[in-house]
Amino acid sequence: MHTGLLLALLLSWAPLLAAGSWPAPPAADSLFDGRYLTLPDRPDPHGDPAACLACHTSGEPTLQDLRPESCRECHDPRAHHRRIHPLGMVPSDEVPIPAFMPLDEGLLACGTCHSKSCTPDRSNRNSLRGAPWPQRQDFCFQCHKRDFFPGLDPHHRPLRAVDQERLLELGLTVSCDLCHKEDEQVDLLSESDHLCRRCHPSRDHELRHMGFSMDPERNPAEAALYREYIELGGRELPLGSEGRIGCTTCHTPSPECGDQTVYPPRGLRLPLDRICHVCHGF
């Protein structure tokens, strides 16, 4: 973790740790708007040795002293239930659960798919059990049958007939609703890296960029180059929340998403020989 970020987190947690407790949100439901998997304004305790009490009952954490509700205090289970996977359900007999994915008293829980994340790994940002996986979907197919989940390509117009059929099966009428809020042309359902990784694998190159902050106090060199590029009137390279890099910072999902010109490979917002220079300079 970057030292500047670590210091900021330590300062933000100091009053809480001094009090010997970690406050639960007033009500998770009150902050849920259908968009956030992680509730806004929650500091990230994962990997910080000063924040063990965020999830554990002692300063020497083990899996046995993990507080049952700790995940829900930052991650909204309704958002997870709606967009990732249902929780608190008994698995169907037709969906065998592998031995390395433990149930909680026979029910699917956060810890069924996610291992402890006290030591974050950028190659396994979601702390999926059994990682690394070539593609995130490969993890899903440890339980689910691959043939039951045909792909759907929403990036091209008109949609192929098979994609249109799949869209209707999902209860949607336009492919925009797969990634954008209903009746919105801009706002995404979630951070772009979360949305894109539903279908696209995260390779080493992407993982080195996802979540990188362009905050000048955290990464001044890259932030200065990016800011200079924008001030000179360069094409917008949109950042995610808290000024972090996401998939759509460099990639345009499709020409139909606004007045976009795309460049090979993979729909870059700028030509390949220019886009890296925006932040890296060379």
Query: DSSP characters for 106-168?
Result: TB--HHHHB---SS--GGGTT-BTT---SSHHHHHTTTS-GGGS-----SSSSPPHHHHHHHH
Q: The dihedral of CA 127, 248, 219, 18: what is its sign?
A: negative
List the domain boundaries for the chain.
Answer: 3-115, 150-189, 220-280
Plot region of 243 (φ>0 → left; ψ -120 to 50 → alpha; else → beta): left
Confidence (pLDDT) at 166: 82
Exposed / middle / buried, residue 250 (Cβ in 10 Å: 0-12, 13-18, 19+): buried
User: What does the pLDDT look like over 200-253, one tens digit per residue?
Assistant: 766 666 667 877 888 888 888 888 999 888 888 888 888 887 788 888 899 887
Nearest to 148 by CA among 196, 94, 97: 94
Spatial separation of the C-alpha atoms in residues 92 and 78, rounded to whole Å: 21
pLDDT surpasses 60 at 26: no
258 pLDDT higher than 60: no
- Please identify which residue in the block is written with the tokens 């996977």: 85
Q: Measure the CA–CA gap between 77 and 29, rounded to whole angstroms.
A: 9
What letter does residue 75 receive in the DSSP assignment?
B
SS3 184: coil
Given a cut of 50, is residue 114 above it in pLDDT? Answer: yes
The structure's pTM equals 0.52
pLDDT at residue 277 greater than cutoff 80: yes
pLDDT at 16 over 50: no
